[in-house]
Chain A
Amino acid sequence: MPFKDIVQRLLKEPLAHFLIAGALVYALLSGRAPDLGERRIVVDERVVSALVGRFSDSFRRLPSQEETDGLISDWVRDQVYYREALALGLDKDDEVVVRRMRRKMESLAVADAESRTPDDAVLQAMIDKDPARYADDPRTTFEQVYLGADTPQNRQLAEASLGKLRKGERVGAVPAPIPAQLRDAGSSDVAAMFGDEFTISLRNIAPGQWSGPIASGLGLHLVRVEKRTAPQPPRLDKVRQRVENDWRANAAARARDEAYDRILKGYDVVIELPK
């Protein structure tokens, strides 16, 4: 049976007739605001269609006659209470209503922001604004000898070992599951292995010669930096996905803020300090 016929059949039923008597179009379902002065509620084809449509969306079948009557009387009850409540101003200090209205407005504002695609100029501008964020890590090739915990004895030992290393002699390291040689290690990998303190110290060590001891979250190390590579400036074709992710992650928040700023312009916000 076509949908329209079903609605028409339903409209012939006694309850629907009863409800239609003394009613007028009220179109919350179609998005228009209710007229507060109006005391007539109309259940017409459009209202019933919407109710039946939502029911079948949720349950993948048409409602029975009894269920339709239930939907209609529930809808009328909602409308009666809703309008009475608005007339009494019950929405004014209800935090849930206020929040929900705000959320509806916000979701309207951001509805299509996330599906848009930014053009290259927008992405390039994001890179230009914060190039370090998109640049590769600075890389370092270095050797390290781990001497164990940072104790006075080990600091003494470090002095002696440093002398030997500078003369080209071998020294024993404390065995630990970290590499003795790291090739082109990115600063974030170095930080993950040794901690931030070590990573910062490593930046200030002149290449070529054994130095130290420098401290890490693990203890003491002697270090010889062989090579340091500064990162290339980030290029859009290399980092497009990351920039686009950032753009997308912020798109909704940006659209929301812009919409708010526009609406806010129509208001005076006055803060009255207590006298």
Chain B
Amino acid sequence: MRTTITAAALLLSSTMLVSGCDKLSQVGGSTAEVKNTAYPEQVFWGDTHLHTANSVDAFGFGNRLDPEAALRFARGEEVTSSAGVKAKLARPLDFLVITDHSEGLGSTKALYDAPRIAINDPTLLRWYDLMHEGPKGSLQATAEILDARAHGKMPPGLNDPAKAQARTHKIWNEGLKTVESYNEPGKFTAFFGFEYTLMQGGNNLHRNVIFRDGIDRVNKVDPLSDAGQDWPDALWDYMDAYEKTTGGKVLAIPHNSNLSNGLMFMLTDPKGGPISAEYARRRAAHEPVVEITQIKGDSEAHPFLSPNDEFAGYGTAGWDQNNLLNTQPTKPGDLAGSYVREALKRGMLIEQRTGVNPYKFGVVGSTDAHTSLSTADDNNYFGKHPGVEPSAERATASFVPGVPVERVGRMNWQSLASGYAGVWATSNTREAIFDAMMRREVYGTTGPRMTVRFFGGWDFKADDLKGDWVKAGYTRGVPMGGDLKAGGSGAPSFIVSALKDPIDGNLDRVQVVKGWVDAAGNSHEKVFDVVWSDMDKRVAVNGKVPAVGDTVDVATATYQNTIGAPSLATVWTDPEFDPKVRAFYYVRVLQIPTPTWMDYDMVKFKLTLPAEIPLKQQERAYTSAIWYNPA
């Protein structure tokens, strides 16, 4: 059976580039015909970032669900959460990447399962006993494990490289078989992946690594562990080696730049010198996509960096005070290297000097849930980890309940029920979705499944929207993630179209965020409201469109779609275009106000919550940018 998979997988990767209908793949003895459309017609929804009980911290937090449970849940099956609650996604996902931390893969579970008598390191013994005490002790132990990791003080018993390698190899290969058996081309895509947890003393430089290939290639490698490196070079070497030895393909997605204290998107190279063209090329080639939003906050923009953007600052509070492990306070000067919009600008600055843009990436949202359950909807949010699965206490608990907020740095209510990745692919297969990520035809949302199209070209007119504008977008322009074609004249024009999630809130407005770099080497940004609901009544004043209103009833955690619009579309031309100036454009879609997960909790558990806890929010989608490069 396995040999047919191999043959089919090779066939798949070589024929995927052509469109049309081929008999493509065989999975575990089941045959399926997967059609590739000529251009992407459908957005596929997924999570590129999910942890199971195999992650060192997830198990400690109380996660007892293995990769199989995670896959079944994402596919729409009912599973029982670690806390014993039956859980099912209202709408299945189209794809999932399980990204367990490669460092110490399965080691917390191994410690838990070890005979107590064999443990003589006093620290390990303490953790063992705490974990066996029950959920509270387990959270305490996990906080201590993360602390030890941050300060490089892991007991040798957990860090023994030979033993860890053998365990990792075993668990990785078991996981591969499970993932392969749930990959169903055309229906549900299960990717192979892991998280490379690069973390200079608590500064988050984590990357999720995603493979394009089937088990026959991926089983040639074990996941790479961070062995105390400061920068991602070892990961890029690993990726190069994988591609060279197997002929496969692999990409990396950095996440939580908001917790990197400015190190994720630096203007300089690691040694403080200027970034070279070679370094820029290497980074861009390995990291085509960045995760812009997730449970641990939103990394699009920060009010400090974008004071004129009244919608900047969604999901930044609490996450902008300190690094991931709360070991180093964040200074205002760090913020520019921590947020995506600024990174897109920095990329162009570096490109102006070197000819190569290291930060030419697309964006996705994902959960980073450590519950094995990919939930990004506020009305059915299962939390960051099993310690904060639905309960009356979680809205007012610290991020790790029982461990003081001074130690963990933030409150649990500062978590977002976010996000998902939208991918414009030609079919629901590993190959098509991976390739869409490589060309950055992807976007992120904070949970709602809004459909968003964005095309850039030189001759789009309002009338295009009356015809087959998607076809026009692909033939006369480029989709999100692309470069405006050279040789255009006048100002670039953009087709922007957004549609609400069929079971979520209406849309408030669609904005184009433009960034550019002037001749003096300074970067700039501007947010344009390009189309909004009730445009005849909501007239812009000084370039600002009035607020959409608010129908949220926090006492019942409900809202009405009596404001906003189900769909918004326009053709927008940049009124301030300068052909000599490098620029990027991306779309931000805002929903009308809806309740936060804390409001749903408040109603469900009949709570009285302190005023500082937000009960309403405007959820959003962010597209990958389209870039303009002067000839």
Residue numbers of A with Cβ under 8 A of B are 51, 54-55, 57-60, 67, 70-71, 74-75, 78, 96, 146, 148-149, 172, 174-180, 188-189, 191-195, 198, 216-219, 237-242, 244-245, 248-249
Would A148 and B160 count as touching, CB distance under 8 A?
A: no
Which of A74, A177, A192, A245 is close to B498, meaning CB atoms less than 8 Å apart? A177
Would A195 and B453 count as touching, CB distance under 8 A?
A: no
Q: A58-B114, A174-B567, A249-B72 are in contact. Are A242 and B120 (CB under 8 A)?
A: no
Q: A71-B120, A177-B470 are in contact. Are A241 and B502 (CB under 8 A)?
A: no
A15 to chain B, nearest CB (A): 16
Which of A58, A60, A239 is close to B162, meaning CB atoms less than 8 Å apart? A60
Would B503 and A237 count as touching, CB distance under 8 A?
A: no
Would A55 and B118 count as touching, CB distance under 8 A?
A: yes
Q: When chains A and B are docked, how far (Å) is the Cα of A58 from the Cα of B160?
A: 9
B282: chain A residues at CB < 8 Å are none
A74: chain B residues at CB < 8 Å are 117
Q: When chains A and B are docked, how far (Å) is the Cα of A249 from the Cα of B114?
A: 25
Q: A54-B117, A149-B565, A192-B91 are in contact. Are A240 and B29 (CB under 8 A)?
A: yes
Chain B residue at smallest Cβ distance from A197: B502
Chain B residue at smallest Cβ distance from A238: B30
A240: chain B residues at CB < 8 Å are 28-30
For chain B, which range describes its interface: under 10, 10 to 19, 20 to 34, or 35 or more residues? 35 or more
> Quick check: is B389 within 8 A (CB to CB) of the other chain?
no
Would A148 and B29 count as touching, CB distance under 8 A?
A: no
Q: When chains A and B are docked, how far (Å) is the Cα of A191 from the Cα of B90?
A: 11
Chain B residue at smallest Cβ distance from A176: B567
B163: chain A residues at CB < 8 Å are 58, 60
B453: chain A residues at CB < 8 Å are 177
Would B120 and A176 count as touching, CB distance under 8 A?
A: no
B132: chain A residues at CB < 8 Å are 96
Would B567 and A219 count as touching, CB distance under 8 A?
A: yes
Would A175 and B566 count as touching, CB distance under 8 A?
A: no
A148: chain B residues at CB < 8 Å are 565-567
Interface residues of chain A: helix, strand, loop or mixed (majority): helix
Chain B residue at smallest Cβ distance from A137: B187
Q: When chains A and B are docked, how far (Å) is the Cα of A178 from the Cα of B470?
A: 9
Count A-B pairs with CB separation below 8 Å: 114
B:468-497 near A, CB below 8 Å: 468-470, 497
Would A241 and B566 count as touching, CB distance under 8 A?
A: no
A-B pairs with lowest CB-CB distance, top 7? A217-B502, A195-B502, A241-B28, A54-B118, A175-B569, A175-B465, A177-B453
Q: When chains A and B are docked, how far (Å) is the Cα of A188 from the Cα of B351?
A: 44
Q: A175-B469, A217-B501 are in contact. Are A51 and B117 (CB under 8 A)?
A: yes
Q: When chains A and B are docked, how far (Å) is the Cα of A70 from the Cα of B120?
A: 9
A195: chain B residues at CB < 8 Å are 502-503
Q: When chains A and B are docked, how far (Å) is the Cα of A248 from the Cα of B132?
A: 29
> Quick check: is B425 within 8 A (CB to CB) of the other chain?
no
Would B72 and A75 count as touching, CB distance under 8 A?
A: no
Chain A residue at smallest Cβ distance from B186: A186
Q: A60-B162, A219-B566 are in contact. Are A241 and B117 (CB under 8 A)?
A: no
Q: When chains A and B are docked, how far (Å) is the Cα of A174 from the Cα of B507?
A: 15
A238: chain B residues at CB < 8 Å are 30-32
Q: A54-B115, A178-B451 are in contact. Are A244 and B499 (CB under 8 A)?
A: no
Q: When chains A and B are docked, how far (Å) is the Cα of A238 from the Cα of B184?
A: 11
Residue numbers of B with Cβ under 8 A of A are 27-32, 41-43, 45, 68, 72, 77, 91-92, 114-115, 117-120, 132, 134, 157, 160, 162-163, 181-182, 184, 449, 451-453, 465-466, 468-470, 497-503, 506, 565-567, 569
Name 9 A/B residue pairs within 8 A (Cβ), A-sorted.
A55-B118, A58-B163, A67-B120, A96-B134, A176-B499, A179-B41, A179-B470, A189-B42, A195-B503
Which of B29, B68, B499 is close to A218, meaning CB atoms less than 8 Å apart? B499
Chain B CB within 10 Å — which of A176, A180, A216, A218 has the most? A176
Chain A residue at smallest Cβ distance from B91: A192
Q: A51-B117, A177-B470, A237-B31 are in contact. Are A242 and B567 (CB under 8 A)?
A: no
A56 to chain B, nearest CB (A): 9
A21 to chain B, nearest CB (A): 22
A75: chain B residues at CB < 8 Å are 117
Q: A60-B163, A219-B567 are in contact. Are A178 and B499 (CB under 8 A)?
A: yes
Would B30 and A218 count as touching, CB distance under 8 A?
A: no
Q: When chains A and B are docked, how far (Å) is the Cα of A138 from the Cα of B42?
A: 18
Chain B CB within 10 Å — which of A172, A175, A188 has the most? A175
A55: chain B residues at CB < 8 Å are 118, 120
B167 to chain A, nearest CB (A): 11
B338 to chain A, nearest CB (A): 31
Q: When chains A and B are docked, how far (Å) is the Cα of A188 from the Cα of B134?
A: 41
Q: When chains A and B are docked, how far (Å) is the Cα of A219 from the Cα of B68?
A: 38
Q: When chains A and B are docked, how far (Å) is the Cα of A146 from the Cα of B28?
A: 41
A179: chain B residues at CB < 8 Å are 41, 470
Q: A58-B114, A218-B502 are in contact. Are A241 and B184 (CB under 8 A)?
A: yes
Q: A54-B118, A176-B569 are in contact. Are A244 and B500 (CB under 8 A)?
A: no
B26 to chain A, nearest CB (A): 10
Chain B residue at smallest Cβ distance from A180: B468
Q: When chains A and B are docked, how far (Å) is the Cα of A195 from the Cα of B499?
A: 13
Which of A180, A198, A241 is close to B29, meaning CB atoms less than 8 Å apart? A241
Q: When chains A and B are docked, how far (Å) is the Cα of A191 from the Cα of B465?
A: 25
Q: When chains A and B are docked, how far (Å) is the Cα of A128 from the Cα of B280?
A: 57
